[in-house]
Amino acid sequence: MKRLSQIFSLINIVLFLLCSIVSVVLFVLFYNQLPVLGWSFQMERTVFLVLFLLFTFFLAKKLKWIFVLLLFSISGWIGYDVYSGKQDLLGYYNKSRNVFNDMAGYKDKGSFVYTSYSVFYRDRQLVDAIDFKQPAVRNFAVEAVNEFFVKEQKKHMDYERVIIQSLAVFKKINSNWNYVSDPQDDEYFAKASESVKLLAGDCDDYSILMAAAVKSIGGKVRLTFIKGHIYPELLIGKEEDMQKMMPIITDKLFSKEIDKAINYYQDKEGNIWINLDYTASYPGGSYMGNEVVEYIYP
């Protein structure tokens, strides 16, 4: 009897841990759809989290098949994202961390909170549109590399050359981009393989094409959401890498275009990201806003 009791206790502990994980995932997904009641210290969010936990525990105890289906659905969805490269486990961790930072009232430049249905709709559409493995996107990026900064590329090796080639892609897109709005009352995300033919669209389409073209030649980029706008940022590296690249950018690559300071952001890991927005004719143009809503790492 004692051994049987221990087994049941272990099962309950495992079940509670599974319910806790499912509750946190659901809570993060629906965070910004939850009503704001104005309670002190955002205590209503804590109450909602407890309710999610009680709900999943009820399913696990009374409606096991629904709980198992929910568990497998979440696991399959996350597993597919990781396998397909749309998202990694660190990205999911960062999203969860920032939701709880917001609950605690902690925000800094670089933190984000989900906007409504972004996980299910907007983010997935954006990532799917960054089809950097399409030959048309790769060919477009290579043509840009062959058109701009060819002499400067030959002076550098490996990582610095990739940065210079990524900036050649920026030069190609930025100098030819024609801003065209989405259909009225609708959000349209053009695939990068579509935009290479047109070089036109809104800030979403610009960012998608920039991300795809840079990724197709080995650069690392992220999409940064602020309220009402999105722009791409290129990973330069650490502080020492930025010190090496700064005179190359200002004195050689964009000496004619630069008329103000270079803008970039250093994250908590010490990585430096330079602004590639279409609003300036050089990398590191002025930011349109400092309140970051979300980062997407395609």
CA atoms within 13 Å, Cβ hemisphere of 265: 22
For the chain, what is the mean pLDDT? 81
What does the alpha-carbon distance between residue 52 and residue 17 come to, in Å, rounded to a whole number?
Answer: 13
250 and 191 in a common domain: yes
268 and 153 in a common domain: yes
Q: Is residue 111 part of a domain?
A: no
**Helices and strands: H and E segment counts in the chain:** 11, 7
169 and 95 in a common domain: no
pTM for the model stands at 0.64
218 and 74 in a common domain: no
Q: Is residue 128 part of a domain?
A: yes
Q: Which of 80, 106, 132 lies at the terminal end of a domain, its last residue?
A: 106
Q: Is residue 52 part of a domain?
A: yes
92 and 37 in a common domain: yes
Q: What is the pLDDT of residue 1?
A: 53
pLDDT in tens, 6-62: 555 676 777 778 888 888 888 877 776 677 676 776 687 788 888 888 888 888 878
pLDDT in tens, 32-42: 667 767 677 66
pLDDT in tens, 181-239: 877 656 778 899 999 999 998 899 999 999 999 999 999 999 988 878 899 999 999 98
Q: Which of 73, 106, 139 lies at the terminal end of a domain, its last residue?
A: 106
220 and 95 in a common domain: no
Into how many domains does the chain fold? 2
Residue-number span of the structural domain to which 202 is assigned: 124-296
